[in-house]
Structure formats: C-alpha cells, structure tokens
Structure 1
Amino acid sequence: MLIIDGYHHVSLLVTDLARAKTFYKQVLGLEEITRPPFDFPGAWFAVGESGQQLHLIVHDGETRRSGGIDTRDGHFALRVKDYEAAIEELGRHGIKYRAKPESITGFAQIFLLDPDHNIIELNAIRTEE
C-alpha cells in the first residue's frame, strides 16, 4: 500500500506564460519560485506555506477547454482565509466568477477561470452570521 504524504504540485497548461504569470501573481497573489532549467517554458509558484506548488507549462497541444465556468469540470481548489475579501479582490481585477456561498459541501466556494480557461475553485470556511 502506498502511503501518501500529501500533494506536492498541480500542473496546468498555459499558452501565454507572461499573461499566466501576471494572473497567478497579481490576482491570486502566489509567489513565483525557482524552476529548474527545463527545455520548455513554464513557471513554478508556491501555494501556501506547506511546500505545495503550482506548475505552469507552456504547451500548444489541444487539451484546453474553451467554454465558461463549469463547476463539475476538472479543477483545483485553493483554500482562502476570507471569502468576502476574495470576492472583492476578484471584482477589483474584473474577474468573472460563480459564487456558491451556501454550497452543500459545508464550505463557501468561488469558481473562476484563469486566462487559459483552467478552472480554479477558491473555498473558505463558512462563517455563521
């Protein structure tokens, strides 16, 4: 039996590295970290403080989606500390999203697309009002 210690990284395909890096730095506030000198373009980002990473890979294959936000499609989720602050920040950047503050999951969710239509879920502990 494998003993899984946790997630190390998620990799996403992007078409325009500069545009993707701007999105992940300025909209999501991720910190870019050192990436080995691969023979293809990309970027790595730290996710939180537990050693988890997001890897962007420039790829011109045909694996990207073209539609809108589909909350049942493949995605990755990031936990945010403040749900309302996340919505305000997305609005400040003009990012379209689908909010599910009363999700049956037990936590509040926000779904959005990056510039290459990769689906991202932001979620937070639901606070009682």
Structure 2
Amino acid sequence: MIKASVPQQAKLNHVSIPARDLAESEAFYREVLGCERIQAPNFGFPVCWMRLGDLQLHLQQVGPSPELRTYQHFAVQVADFASAYHVLRARGAFEENTRYADLWILPGGEVQMFVRDPSDNLFEIDHPDVNAIDPSVFTQPLRRLADEEVQSEGHLRATLFLRGDLFAARD
C-alpha cells in the first residue's frame, strides 16, 4: 500500500458551478469577466468550459431541483494522484454508488476523481497524465469517458490543463 505524504503540492485547477441556462451564464461570464469558451468533453449532460485567466470556469446545466446543485465543485491538480487517492479512500471521502465514486480518464489523457469533504462539499482531484499512473495501485478500475460517451473531434481536443507543466513556474 502506498503511504501518502501529506500535505502534498496542489494547485487550483478550476471551479464548477451550476447554471440554469448555459447560454445566458456563458454570456454573463464572457461579458463581465472576459471569459472565453474552450472545448469540453461530452459528459452526457450539458456543460460549458471557459478560460478564466490561467484557470478554468466550468458551468454545469442544472434543472430546477435543488439536489442537482450539490454537484458544484472546485478542482485541484496534484503531483501525486495515487497518494491522494489512498488518503481519500481511507477517509471514506468517495461518494459511493454514483458516477462520482469512479476514477475517470478524460479524452486528453487527464485523470480525475471526485470526493466529499467532511461538510459534504464535492471537490475534484486532477492529474494531467494517465500514463504516469500505475493503475494497479487503485482498488477500482479507471473508467474512460470516451468508452461511456461519444466524443466528437472537438471533444477530443478538450483539456483540463491550459498551461504547460503541472507545477511549472508562473509567467
């Protein structure tokens, strides 16, 4: 078993918030903050990813039902994905029996997991390269989003990482 070194190096990657009307919310953030729409994968539900400086803002379409709003989240990128996984698994932080309990490989090769903090806030942990991770260290399989949802050519160009190296110095 991998022993986690805590705390580890992490950076904010993106924030995801609910949107009742994606077009209206996209226009709002474009006009108010100068955000620019960027390509997103197909998750099987409506999303809009936007560049916000050197970070991203993700908008998720929600319905009128309040429980759908509980999936807003923030995301951090980590240097040691496996170590973070084991610490979070030991803490019981995964939301079992939902799509958020799984580890996901995005079309661009990034890996993501979703967990809950002690106050039930959802957050996402990201790593830029699935090939740098040994899948045998996980107690569950890594699922490929492209195996579950059809990805267009544009979806395949989506990436969580707007800049170079994971922990490269800021310009």
Whether these two folds match at TM > 0.5 is: no
The TM-score, its normalising length taken from structure 2, stands at 0.34
Give 1 or 2: higher helix fraction. 2
Instruction: Give TM-score, length-normalised by structure 1.
Output: 0.44
Give 1 or 2: higher strand fraction: 1
